[in-house]
Amino acid sequence: MRNTNTMDATSTGAIKSGMRRKMKARLSWIPVLAALAILILMLIAGQVHFGSFVTPAMLSSLLVDNAYLVVLAAGMTFVILTGGIDLSVGSVMAFTGMLSAKLLSVGVPVALVIPLMLIAGALFGTMIGVLIHFFDVQPFIASLAGMFLARGLCFVVSLEAIQVKDPFVLGLESARLGYGDWYITPTGIIALIVIAIAAWVLAYTRFGRTVYAIGGNEQSARLMGLAVARSKILVYVVSGVCAGIAGLIFTSYTAAGYSLNGIGTELDTIAAVVIGGTLLTGGSGYMVGSLIGVFVYGVIKTAITYLGADASWERISIGILLLAFVVVQRFIVARANRN
Amino acid sequence: MSENAVVVEMRDISIEFPGVKALDDVDFTLRSGEIHSLLGENGAGKATLIKALTGVYSIDSGTIRVSGTERTFAGTADAQTAGIATVYQEINLCTNLTVGENVMLGHEVPGRFGINWRATHAKATTYLRQLGVDVDPRSQLASHSLAIQQLIAISRAMVVDCRVLVLDEPTSSLDRSEVEQLFAVMRRLRSRNVAILFVSHFLDQVYEISDQMTVLRNGKLVGEYQVGELSRSELISKMLGRELDELESIARNASRTIDRTGNPILKVTGLGRKGGIEPTDLDVYDGEIVGFAGLLGSGRTELVRVIYGADRSDHGAIEVRGKSVRLSTPRHSSDHKIAFSSEDRRAEGIIGDLTVAENIVLGIQAKRGWLRRVSKAQSDEVVAHYIESLDIRPASPHILMSNLSGGNQQKVLLARWLATTPQLLILDEPTRGIDIGAKAEIQREIAKLAAAGLGVIFISSELDEVLRLSQRVVVLRDRRKIAEFDNHENFDIDDIVALIAKEGAA
Amino acid sequence: MTRFFRSRLVWPMGALVALVLLNTISRPSFLSISVKNGQLYGSIIDILRDSAPLMLVALGMTLVIATRGIDLSVGAVMAISGAVALQFISKSTSPNRVGTVLIAIGIGVFITLLLGLWNGFLVAVVGIQPIIATLVLMLGGRGIALLITGGFITTITSSPYAQMAQGHLLGLPLAFFFSVGAIAIVGLLVRRTALGVLTESVGINPSASRLAGVRSRGIIWSIYGISGLLAGLAGILYSSNIMAADSNNAGFLIELDAILAVVLGGTSLRGGKFTLSGTVIGVFIIQTLTSTITFLGVPPAVTPVFKALVVILVCLSQSSRVRQYLGRIRHLRAAKPPIRLSGLETEVLAERKSG
């Protein structure tokens, strides 16, 4: 035993680990690629089935109509990457929308209203994050409280829908920059900018890397001396701010603030993020995956409209897709553990 | 070596937890450029001492000086600032990130647009190269062996420019060549005047790599020795100690003869699990107590876990009373009347929030399934019987298990298993961390049960306990059975110590 | 009984009494019960009747939470059972026959039992986290219900079916007897068999339970089955109340109310020990709270704000940090050294294992 040639052992080990490494590196992208494959397959199937499904107008509307969801998914990705969950986003989106509609209707200038929306979202996020980190409340429950609170506060603002007439807010949706049949609205641009910034933060900042580290192993992250407490709270703040931005987009999209907006949106968001390949246990996932996840969701919605099928199929297909992806994730994790 | 500059000086350190004095006026000195082993059995206080030094625990009394300055650590970050880095047994890195990130996390090289990954990875490579580790910093950490991960963790410690490196059981999951690689790195660091605190339960390795040794036992300092001045046997006796006085009352059990003609209760052939225990044979006959002797990590626990089905085996066969069986889950074993009490009472034994009575009846109930509930009358009878016969205190069946002392919890667990009327009882460290009175009671009970025909596998770190109770002793080392012999009157602890200590036994 | 009331139920009971007192002071009519046509009427009676669906769901949720799980799908499952039963009755030629109604209920509840077992399969066999496993059905379930009813709100006229939620027995609403029956049956099931104690054992310490030979997989599986079945019954009651299968609104957000009732009752979300009586009180607290809010003239839609505050308060009261802080104050007064972190003791043991 003593005289084993250590050089030999390490070099073969290195070769083996090199091969394994390539497999592993691909492993974390597999779910994203799978989502992309499904998206493309659905587009092709749609094209074959309907004749003219994939058109510039349809692809443009995919982004524009789901801009709010893209923004929400960006925030949710941060939260899920740490291994948490945020159920409050739909309600917070509705609340910030209500708040803006109310403020605008009493004549508060839009330049003040928009920052206020973002601050309101951030406050909700802070509350949830503090409950989770300092009081050891499970993310599910803490964000549930946030969800209740925001939903109830919507009705405190107003029981009725409030129409929004502010030209700037409306312009975010109605203004169209186009090239041929392709078009994009300011809301679409906002969504893309949010995704781009979020992707950059995740990949190129210490906060972003800490988010991954926490999701990978919180205990290790703490022992490595990373700012775990701050980052854990910050992800919920980010998610809250994103809900604020989504509130703005949704208000401009519907031209009104309404208390029942965005019910169930948190589930759509979680589904989109998971379908996009982010591991629910945290630590693995990419922003671009969440964007693809939203598009998959959007295509399902469009296809169901095209089919004239019952709208209920939308939720069922999302449910099935979510299940399929979770099971796939489960096996990937199980395999990674075995290695 | 001891003339080198003192880096860490811990004096009169005491740490107390509810009910336990984990460290009692312990002194510890670490000098630059030395590899210093910290030795002791379970619960000796090694881990507590390390956690005091690395800021995980705050000390109740005593002083810690690092490079002559007195320090109080409020957390791990304080210790790191003082230049103390730790690599734990369960390597504290993030397997979902790349090697380079794990080395540099928190110390990334900034660029114009956020982290400059190229420079960060280059810097990581430099640190890795310094330790002779040649891996691609962009590869995933999870793709590397534990040995490499360990070295990566050490590289990370170098980034923070540590003066003290604490290695807590770094070799427990490495094979021989990997250990060599780690030792090469340790020697390299020693030559760069880093002070290394090394903890390992492999004595060969301790003797191979260290310059100094400090031995703890039961939270107290036994002494500090240079490697040359203490033989293995002396070291082992110092680690294990002897608590003979009160236990002498139990007559030595060895002389009882066991009828080994018929079918054994349990016959194990070539049973093993990769990384746990090498293929091993074992028989247990009616009325026999088979004692396992060996240090922590010798494979004693791993072997019984595989037998019971708590962990899966990857080869070997098991026969119960001559019939070949598969014991792949605890459930199967309990169907074959085999009971197992884990060494980890808290995590794998007690159900803390249930009552004593519920804990005792759980074994019977699990066998019956949920539909056929153990009747109140039956439960009362069983519980009353065991509370009395095992002298469980307080003698109230309705208090919560978590409110009992360790010794009484252990008795409740014993009762849980006995109530299922097993034919073979596997006890892993049933007397650990409990007071001497309870210890004697449990030993007496085990001897009584065996005399009545029960087969017992008995594991203990305390060799005199093993010798006193067992008719047969199995000695394990380095995950292998190295000896098995019939116990007899004139065999004593030193003989086993000699077996365990024998260098490089093949 | 004294054991029951000594510790865990004191707080929820106190909260309920306080709520009732508050109501009685602000409107003396709150406790009064009038008799019309031999039937009892009054706010209390309303609470007993209206709480029935939540009661059924919360009982199941208690068991699921005891296993360290959670069942988000109960609302969707309610929608499905209502849809199935009503669809069957509406297609039947004799909607007023008791037999038809019984078969309809049977089919509805059987299907929800299967759905519960499906959740259990995902959690216990596939090993998916309970939140996500049940989220799948929560998302898809309402869609399935809508498909069953063809996208419409199925309405029926069937007097036996209507009786369930609207009828009376011995002067009390029939729905109340459903509550009582469910409490009795679940109570007997968990306390007369060993299901309760084994569930707790799995919830408190899964690995110790496994080593003790407990078949935790089977237990978890059956618990989700029970939760599905109870949610199914709740769906039947709900649809009987409005005589319609409203797939979008049946049991909407009831999972959250149910979780809240369980937590209010004193069962920890971390699993383990559970108390059905606590959950019963929790349900009454929520129902009384809703009734109070309505009475105070606050729009019912604002109710979530109060619920959110209750959730936050309850969570804070369970938080070890807050308890430690309160404990420290008490200790300082008694001039004793501050208590240590509760985690330390376990770490000592962990240390014994590793070092």
A→B contacts (Cβ < 8 Å), by residue, are 1-2, 4-6, 9-10, 13-14, 17-18, 20-21, 23-25, 28, 200, 203-206, 209-210, 212-213, 215-217, 219-226, 283-284, 336, 339
Q: How high is the pLDDT of residue C110?
A: 95
Categorize the per-residue pLDDT at A10 as very low, low, confident or very high, splitting at 50, 70 and 90. Answer: very low
B490 or B273, which is more confident: B273
pLDDT of residue A337: 57
pLDDT, averaged across chain B: 83
Amino acid identity of residue B91, one-letter, is I
Q: Which residue of C has its CA nearest to A265?
A: C139
- Per residue in B371-384, pLDDT (tens digit) is 888 888 999 999 99
In angstroms, the separation between the Cα of residue B43 and the nearest Cα of chain A is 23
State yes or no: pLDDT of C215 exceeds 70: yes
Q: How confident is the model at residue B478 (pLDDT cuts 50, 70, 90)?
A: confident
Q: What is the β-pairing status of strands B69-71 and B424-428? A: unpaired
Neighbours, chain B (3 or more CB pairs < 8 A): A, C
Does residue C281 lie in a domain region?
A: yes
- 3-state SS string over chain A? CCCCCHHHHHHHHHHHHHHHHHHHHHHHHHHHHHHHHHHHHHHHHHHHHHCCCCCHHHHHHHHHHCHHHHHHHHHHHHHHHCCCCCCCHHHHHHHHHHHHHHHHHCCCCHHHHHHHHHHHHHHHHHHHHHHHHHHCCCHHHHHHHHHHHHHHHHHHHCCCCEECCCHHHHHHHHCCEEECCEEECHHHHHHHHHHHHHHHHHHHCHHHHHHHHHHHCHHHHHHCCCCHHHHHHHHHHHHHHHHHHHHHHHHHHHCEECCCCCCCHHHHHHHHHHHCCCCCCCCCCCHHHHHHHHHHHHHHHHHHHHHCCCCHHHHHHHHHHHHHHHHHHHHHHHHHHHC
Q: Which H/E stretch holds residue B268?
A: strand B266-273
Res A26: pLDDT: 59
Q: What is the pLDDT of residue B404?
A: 79
Mean per-residue pLDDT over chain A, rounded: 85
| pLDDT of res. A284 | 87
Is the predicted pLDDT of residue B501 greater than 80, yes or no? no
CB contacts, 8 Å: B113 with chain A? 200, 204
Of residues A209, A249, A288, A238, the one with CA closest to residue A93:
A249
For residue A21, pLDDT over 60 is answered with no
At B13-52, the pLDDT tens digits run 888 876 567 888 899 999 988 999 998 876 678 888 888 8
**Closest in B76, B96, B117 to A223, CB measured:** B76
What CA–CA distances, in Å, run from B454 to B450, B473, C27? 5, 17, 71
**N-terminal to C-terminal alpha carbon distance within chain C:** 45
Task: Say whether B114 and A200 touch across the interface (CB within 8 A).
Answer: yes
Specify the pLDDT at position B380: 92
Residue C83's φ and ψ, nearest 5 degrees, are -60, -45
pLDDT by residue (tens digit) across B414-450? Answer: 999 999 999 999 999 888 766 666 777 888 888 888 8
Can you give the pLDDT at residue A7?
37
Residue A27, pLDDT score: 65
| CA–CA separation, B123 and B100 (whole Å) | 8
Domain membership of residue C321 (yes or no) is: no
Query: pLDDT confidence of A118, banded at 50, 70, 90?
Result: very high
Quick check: A23 and B136 CB within 8 A?
no
Nearest to A267 among C138, C311, C319 (CB): C138
| pLDDT digit string, tens, across residues C138-169 | 878 888 888 888 877 888 887 778 877 777 78
When pLDDT is averaged across residues C269-288 and rounded to a whole number, the result is 89
pLDDT exceeds 80 at position B466: yes
Contacts of B140 in chain A (CB under 8 A): 21, 24-25, 28
pLDDT (tens digit per residue) in C94-111:
878 888 889 999 999 999
pLDDT number for residue C222:
92
pLDDT at res. B19: 58
- Count structural domains, chain C: 1
Hey, are the CB atoms on A283 and B86 less than 8 Å from each other? no
The answer to whether B370 contacts C219, with C-beta atoms less than 8 Å apart, is yes
Q: What is the pLDDT of residue A1?
A: 34
CA–CA separation, B218 vs B45, rounded Å? 7
Arithmetic mean of pLDDT, A101-107: 91
- CA nearest B456: which of B414, B408, B411? B414
Contacts of A2 in chain B (CB under 8 A): 176, 504
Task: Say if residue B394 is preceded by a cis peptide, omega within 30 of 0.
Answer: yes
Q: Looking at the complex, does the CB of residue C273 fall below 8 Å from at least one CB of chain B?
A: yes
Q: What is the CATH number of the domain that holds C295?
A: 1.10.3470
User: By percentage, how much of chain C surpasses pLDDT 70?
Assistant: 87
- CB–CB of A148 and C256 under 8 A? yes
Counting residues of chain C whose pLDDT is more than 90, the rounded percentage is 25
Residue A214, Cα to own-chain centre: how many angstroms? 18
Q: Which of A4, A20, A21 sits opposite B176 (nearest CB)?
A: A4
**Domains of chain B by range and CATH?**
6-240 (3.40.50.300), 243-337+422-506 (3.40.50.300), 350-421 (no CATH)
Q: What is the mean pLDDT of residues A157-175?
A: 85
Domains of chain A, CATH where assigned: 29-338 (1.10.3470)
Among the partner-chain residues C70, C139, C315, the one whose CB lies closest to the CB of A131 is C315
Q: Is any Cβ of chain A less than 8 angstroms from the Cβ of B74?
A: no
| Residue of higher predicted confidence among C8 and B142 | B142
The answer to the question of residue C221 being in a domain is: yes
pLDDT at A239: 96
Cα(A118)–Cα(A242) distance, rounded to whole angstroms? 8
Which tens digit of pLDDT belongs to each residue from B64-112? 988 888 888 877 778 888 888 888 777 788 888 889 988 988 888 888 8
CB-based contact C175:C237 (threshold 8 Å): yes
**Residue-averaged pLDDT of chain C:** 81
DSSP conformation letters of C322-337? HHHHHHHHHHHHTT-P
Pick the residue from chain A with its C-alpha nearest to B93. A220
Q: Residues of chain A with pLDDT > 90: what percent?
A: 40
Interface contact flag, B371 C194, Cβ < 8 Å:
yes
Q: Give the helix/strand (H/E) hosting B272.
A: strand B266-273
The pLDDT value recorded for residue C332 is 45
Whether residue C26 lies inside any domain: the answer is no
Of the listed ranges A15-24, B126-135, B319-328, the one predicted with least confidence = A15-24
Segment C268-297 shows an average pLDDT of 86
Give me the mean pLDDT over the B361-372 stretch. Answer: 87
| In a domain? residue C257 | yes
Residues of C whose CB is below 8 A from B44? 355
Chain A residue with minimal CA distance to C312? A145
d(CA A27, CA A37): 15
What's the rounded Cα separation, in Å, for the pair B63 and C184?
Answer: 62
Residue A68 CA to residue A242 CA, distance in Å, equals 9
What's the confidence (pLDDT) of residue B42? 63
Residue A166 predicted with pLDDT over 50: yes
Give the B:C interface size as CB pairs under 8 Å. Answer: 127
Is residue C335's pLDDT more than 50?
no
- What's B98's DSSP letter? B
Q: Give the pLDDT score at B20.
A: 65
Residues of the domain holding C145: 34-300
